[in-house]
Amino acid sequence: MVTSGRQETEMEYRKARNLCIRLAQTVSAKIGCVQAAHPQARYALEQVELLREMKVDDCGIEATGVIVEITAALAEVLPKFIVGDIDEAGAFASLREVVGPFWWARLMQEPPMQDYAKSCFEFTRMLPHISGDVLEIGAGVGNYSQLISKIPKKYYRTDIQRSFLTGQYSKNEFVYDFDAKSDLRNLDMVVSVNGLHCSRDKTKALRNMFEVLKPGGVIVLAEGEPIVSLSGEPWALGIIFSIVSGWWAVGGFETRENWISYLKASGFESIGTSRLLESAGNGENQMLDLGGLIWGYRSSKVVSSAYR
Ligand SMILES: C[S@@+](CC[C@H](N)C(=O)[O-])C[C@H]1O[C@@H](n2cnc3c(N)ncnc32)[C@H](O)[C@@H]1O
């Protein structure tokens, strides 16, 4: 059974979207007609092409803060990366240098990115599982960690990058790669906010999570949607993250339908989804589907032989 619901965001995505469209137009004007050689540069170029013809909408007050700083810096760095003047490491280093460590650290911690963690927390705090043993994977900068940290009986906070594990939100922190099997067992809940799309093989990674859960345990993912409107509009912030592999999946998000298939293939059932929506601002009551939550349960019944 698949159930669904919805939740709405503020206007932060639309403000960010406008800046990303302007960024794509600037980059496009600087690079002209090129073919990018490096796979990530190809992804960046693809995002530029998807966004450059789009119109900036009138959503009121201009964006401020980190999104302004990052898109301004990317207008310098991205063209050099796409045409091959600098490689991935060089692009990343230049970006950090141009924006500085303060803005760089804030990039993932402000709306609209934070909306995914908030909606995940709003949902998970209603589940009885949250009071039990909980594993967060791809916990990174900690948007969700800071909300949940004091609630579970035991809260394991993990990421593939040690630098994110500062002890700030949990005493039980360790490096864990969700593409590998875990020794943990009998947990009540596994949760990940914009993390699992980075996995090499989604079904295998979800199967690893199935195995750490107890019967009746739940997995909750918050993930963005690659296409946000019926007219095929891309999730605009892909252009920002196009040069950050490892921290972000280069290649972008997976569709909700794909996640449902991966969850089913890994043995989960009673799958549900909810949408994170924002007004398209075109005066026609259309909504942008920014992705949202996908969850599934490890059956409390006897596990069928197909999944053993
Ligand atoms: C886009 S960030 C999301 C961070 C955090 N969940 C949040 O929303 O604030 C993705 C995170 O997944 C981590 N990650 C990427 N690949 C991973 C893997 N194979 N195993 C575990 N974590 C991984 C990255 O290091 C990064 O911290």
Same domain, 40 and 150: no
Q: Which of 89, 106, 123 is the last residue of a domain?
A: 106
Same domain, 129 and 253: yes
Same domain, 130 and 197: yes
The residue whose CB lies within 8 Å of the most ligand 1 atoms, and thus the one to mutate among 160, 243, 253, is: 160
Same domain, 137 and 267: yes
Same domain, 268 and 224: yes
Same domain, 123 and 80: no
Same domain, 98 and 154: no
Tell me if 56 is assigned to some domain: yes
Tell me if 240 is assigned to some domain: no
Residue 288 makes CB contacts below 8 A (sequence gap 6+) with 13, 14, 228, 229, 233, 277, 278, 279, 280
Tell me if 252 is assigned to some domain: yes
Beta strands 269-279 and 133-136 are unpaired
**What type of residue is 119?**
S
Same domain, 132 and 91: no
Q: Which of 56, 74, 106 is the last residue of a domain?
A: 106
Tell me if 121 is assigned to some domain: yes
> What pLDDT shows up at residue 306?
44
> What pLDDT shows up at residue 204?
98
pLDDT single digits (tens) 238-274: 999 888 877 787 778 999 999 999 999 999 999 999 9
Q: What residue ranges line ligand 1, CB within 6 angstroms?
A: 108, 117, 137-144, 159-161, 164, 177-179, 193-195, 198-199, 246-248
Structural domain boundaries enclosing 99? 10-106
Tell me if 227 is assigned to some domain: yes
Euclidean distance between the first and final Cα of the chain, in Å?
21
Q: How far apart are CA 119 and CA 122, in angstroms?
A: 5
Same domain, 192 and 291: yes
Instruction: Note whether 282 and 57 are within 8 A (CB).
Output: yes
Domain count, the chain: 2
Burial class (CB in 10 A: 0-12, 13-18, 19+), 178: buried
> What pLDDT shows up at residue 305?
45
Q: Which of 74, 89, 106 is the last residue of a domain?
A: 106
Beta strands in 29-153 (DSSP E): 133-136
Coil vs helix vs strand at 49:
helix
The residue whose CB lies within 8 Å of the most ligand 1 atoms, and thus the one to mutate among 135, 235, 247, is: 247
Same domain, 96 and 32: yes
Q: Which DSSP string do the residues of 184-230 spell out, in sequence order?
A: --SEEEEEEES-GGG-SSHHHHHHHHHHHEEEEEEEEEEEE-SB-ST
Tell me if 239 is assigned to some domain: no
CATH number at residue 202: 3.40.50.150
Tell me if 117 is assigned to some domain: yes
pLDDT per residue rounded down to tens, the chain (308 residues): 677 777 877 778 999 999 999 999 999 999 988 888 888 899 999 999 999 999 998 888 888 888 898 999 999 999 999 999 998 888 888 888 888 777 777 888 888 889 999 999 999 999 999 999 999 999 999 999 999 999 999 999 999 999 899 999 999 999 999 999 999 999 999 999 999 999 999 999 999 999 999 999 999 999 999 999 998 999 999 999 888 877 787 778 999 999 999 999 999 999 999 999 998 877 677 899 999 999 999 998 754 444 43
Tell me if 237 is assigned to some domain: no
> What pLDDT shows up at residue 1?
64
Q: How far apart are CA 272 and CA 226, in angstroms?
A: 19
Cβ-based neighbour number of residue 17 at 10 Å: 29
Same domain, 49 and 183: no
Interior CA angle at 253 toward 290 and 57, to 5°? 40
Q: How far apart are CA 174 and CA 177, in angstroms?
A: 10
Element (H, E) at 37: none
What is the reported pTM? 0.93
Residue 140 alpha carbon, nearest atom of ligand 1 = 27
The residue whose CB lies within 8 Å of the most ligand 1 atoms, and thus the one to mutate among 198, 199, 202, is: 198
> What pLDDT shows up at residue 142?
94
Cβ-based neighbour number of residue 66 at 10 Å: 20
CA 109 to chain centre: 12
Q: How far apart are CA 141 and CA 106, in angstroms?
A: 9
Same domain, 101 and 132: no
